[in-house]
Amino acid sequence: HFTPRAILVTGGAGFIGSNFINSFMAGNPGCRLVNLDVLTYAGNLENLKGVENNPSYRFVKGDICDSALVARLLAEERIDAVVHFAAESHVDRSITGPEIFVRTNVLGSQVLLEESRKHWQARVVPEFRFLQVSTDEVYGSLGDTGFFTEETPLAPNSPYSASKAGADLLVRAYHETYGFPTLNTRCSNNYGPYHFPEKLIPLMIHNIMNKKPLPVYGDGLNVRDWLHVKDHSIAIETVLKTGGLGQVYNIGGNNEWRNIDIVNLVCDLLDAKLGRSSGENRQLITFVKDRPGHDRRYAIDASRMRRELSWEPSYTFERGIAETIDWYLANQEWVGTVTSGAYRDYYETMYGGR
Ligand code: NAD
């Protein structure tokens, strides 16, 4: 059992990173946590209101590709664990502009690995862990049956998933070549609070509320496996503390949904919550031209997490999706700031000149 004393989280102002920080800091009051995030459009310090005044927390605005900065933080904070979320994460953006995906996801991961390896070899701390947070998309697409296991060959189909696979392979190589203490998680689609409104579930909620069309790719029959972000956060913490070095762990909810069924479900729940007549929101659904290279089905076999690390998801989808909708309804101000750029003004006021 590994007990970290000082963690460097990268990309902690994004959707999953911020949920992880909120949950980890609540459960591990003895651990210092440094959040390194360059604050792209997807990074939002509003997500971290609950920890920003905690003396064990430090935010650093910076780029994971900046090796001097990474080296300095590792040394000065005596970091003994890196939990690496920072990435360009949106598949559609990777289709129109792949270059930044290679820079951040591949090169950025290599810089972090290299500086972490040197820090580990300098033996500044007694024990060290490097945890790479990755995605089931590195495995490519499934037919109607079967599941991705940790042994499934990598076969990414989008520039996003290819860049994540590149990073995962570097993580593997650092373990094989240097004996560097790595861990690699691969998780299915997440949903929950603080999800940027460009992604399926928050986009649908946002558009339904504003009576805008609900764009659904192709025939809507693509299948995804959904996990609540809080369950993902606990899974990452479990792997960090008890995972085997050099190992890969698949994380998933055993919860497959066709896109169109999710959209219908969100429509129906919001009919009731917004006092609209039954079926009204479904009329907003508009099928649009399919995404190029759109993977048909992802499904994760997470039995290794259950078997070896005794982790299980705690949310049912019914509860998770209802709570998520309530969260968006109650946090319209958050949605407004992340979509309007007002958040940038907030940032300048908070951190400008530092
Ligand atoms: P996100 O886009 O919401 O957040 C990414 C964060 O990384 C942002 O805060 C951004 O500012 C930061 N960032 C980007 N480039 C950076 C750089 N060069 N230096 C420092 N910070 C940088 O992403 P997310 O959905 O929270 O995903 C987090 C991680 O989890 C990613 O690695 C992603 O591949 C992985 N993942 C996501 C899902 C999902 O469903 N969202 C599922 C499995 C795995």
* Ligand 1 atom at minimal distance to the Cα of residue 64: 19
**For 314, phi and psi rounded to 5 degrees?**
-105, -20
Q: What is the Cα–Cα distance from 131 to 281, expressed in whole angstroms?
A: 41
Instruction: Kindly provide the ipTM of the predicted complex, given to two decimals.
Output: 0.99
Q: How far is CA 100 from the centre of its chain?
A: 17
Inside any domain, residue 237: yes
| 99 inside domain | yes
84 within some domain: yes
Residue 60 · residue 35 · CB < 8 Å = yes
CB 287 within 8 A of CB 271: no
pLDDT digits (tens, 9 = 90+) for 30-87: 999 999 999 998 999 999 999 999 999 999 999 999 999 999 999 999 999 999 999 9
Q: For ligand 1, atom 42, which residue shows the shortest CA distance?
A: 189
The ligand 1 atom at the shortest distance from the C-alpha of residue 137 is: 43
Ligand 1 proximity of 225 Cβ (cutoff 6 Å): no
Total of domains in the chain: 1
Q: What is the pTM of this model?
A: 0.94
- Is residue 349 very low, low, confident or very high in pLDDT (cuts 50, 70, 90)? low
353 pLDDT more than 60: no
283 inside domain: no
Q: Are 207 and 339 in contact (CB under 8 A)?
A: no
Distance of CA 111 to the CA centre of its chain: 20
Task: Report yes or no: 72 and 137 within 8 Å, Cβ to Cβ.
Answer: no
In whole angstroms, what is the distance from residue 298 CA to residue 252 CA? 10
Residue 14 near ligand 1, beta carbon < 6 Å: yes
228-237 tens-digit pLDDT: 999 999 999 9
Residue 48 lies in a domain: yes
The sign of the CA dihedral 69, 75, 78, 83 is positive
Q: Is 16 in the pocket of ligand 1 (CB under 6 A)?
A: yes
- Which atom of ligand 1 is the closest one to the Cα of 191? 40
- Which residues are tagged catalytic? 136-137, 160
Determine which of 159-163, 320-324, 344-348 has the lowest per-residue pLDDT on average.
Answer: 344-348
Question: Is residue 188 in a domain?
Answer: yes
| Residue 265 domain-assigned (yes or no) | no
In terms of residue numbers, what domain contains 250? 6-192+226-254+294-316
Q: How far is the CA of 179 from the centre of ligand 1 (A)?
A: 26
How would you classify the pairing of strands 81-84 and 129-135? parallel
| Chain position carrying tokens 């990414």 | 156
Q: How far is the CA of 9 from the centre of ligand 1 (A)?
A: 11
How far apart (Å, rounded) are the C-alpha atoms in residues 337 and 335? 6
Helix (H, G, I), strand (E, B) or coil at 98: coil
The CATH number that applies at residue 99 is 3.40.50.720
Give residue 292's pLDDT. 86
Is the pLDDT assigned to residue 351 strictly greater than 60?
no
In this structure, is residue 19 part of a structural domain?
yes
